[in-house]
Amino acid sequence: MSIRIIPKAQQGSGAFNGGEILENKPIGFPQDHSSIKPYSNLFYWAHARAVAESTIGLHPHQGFEICSFVLKGEIRHYDTKLKEWRPLKAGDVQIIRAGNGISHSEWMGKDGEMFQIWFDPNLNKTITQPASYDDYRSADFPEKTVGAARVKTLVGEGSPFRMDTPGIEILSIDIAAGDFSLAVPNGKIGSAYLQEGSAKFNGEAANTSDFVLVEGQETLEISDAAQARVFIIFSPKELDYKTYAQLRF
């Protein structure tokens, strides 16, 4: 495989509260009918948009590391460990290390958007650990200018973000116009989401909300970018443990 573009229409979908919160899911649950199944240590990836102010009620999690990346607006989070509502704004990130069990609830303000991504850190280990939680503010993450691009490191060198899932790197890249080249780390799969704008990925055209899989490539060339904002995760091709998806599906 080299570059594969998965348009929004081929992704899974979902909704909460009668359509107050809408989701497209590049990586979904079986019932979501996404064309992409869990791979590497990525189990689930949803892009949620709030059409109206809305709350997702209290619900449980175990084992997984559940990360929420706030893209626009504001969300608030409540869980049974903190026992209080905490606000997060655009650029902020939260992680729930669900461990041996935690329940949480989310409020999204109107026009708010976020990615919620579940990582599999080896559930055989994490299921025995107490749950834990961290918030990180947008200003906590290092940024640098590389050519025509502004690159923010959410997970990786210089970032304070801590997770148990091995081998994860996450970047947010803004390209007003032009081209940008990014080395693909050895032994990693690239999973990119075009949040805004348009661009070509190694020559393949993509539009807003398209998902891009990058495998077997040494570099990722993002070209002909127009107000492009790209969110990309690098994750291991090979793991030294069986993921939940491998064991279950």
User: Per residue in 35-71, pLDDT tens?
Assistant: 899 999 999 999 999 999 999 999 999 999 999 999 9
Enter the tokens of residue 152: 């923010």
Q: Provide the whole-model pTM.
A: 0.96
* Structural domain count of the chain: 2
Q: What's the CATH number where 160 sits?
A: 2.60.120.10
Residue that terminates a domain, selected from 80, 114, 140: 140
Between the two ends of the chain, the Cα-to-Cα distance in Å is 22
- Measured CA distances, 199 to 48, 60, 67, 223, 243 (Å): 22, 38, 26, 6, 33
pLDDT at 10: 94
- Render each residue's pLDDT in the chain as its tens digit; 249 residues: 489 999 999 999 999 999 999 999 999 988 888 889 999 999 999 999 999 999 999 999 999 999 999 999 999 999 888 889 999 999 999 999 999 999 999 999 999 999 999 999 999 999 999 999 999 999 999 999 998 899 999 999 999 999 999 999 999 999 999 999 999 999 999 999 999 999 999 999 999 999 999 999 999 999 999 999 999 999 999 999 999 999 887
Which of these three, 108, 140, 172, is where a domain ends?
140
| Closest by Cα among 88, 94, 92 to 108 | 88
Residue 125 and residue 171 share a domain:
no
Same-domain pairing of 148 and 70: no
Which domain range does residue 17 map to?
11-140
Whether residues 113 and 165 fall in one domain: no
Shared domain check, 156 and 131: no
Helices (H), 38-155: 123-126
The β-bridge relationship of strands 188-201 and 204-206 is antiparallel
Supply 155's token pair: 């997970």
Q: What is the C-alpha to C-alpha distance for residues 149 and 222, in angstroms, rounded to an integer?
A: 10
**pLDDT value, residue 1:** 46
Would residue 89 count as lying in a domain? yes
> Could you tell me if residue 175 is inside a domain?
yes
Task: Single out the residue in 98, 122, 140 at which a domain terminates.
Answer: 140
The answer to whether position 245 is within a domain reads: no
Task: Assess whether 134 and 151 both reside in one domain.
Answer: no
Q: What is the pLDDT of residues 141-155, one digit of tens each?
A: 999 999 889 999 999
Q: Do both 29 and 112 map to the same domain? A: yes
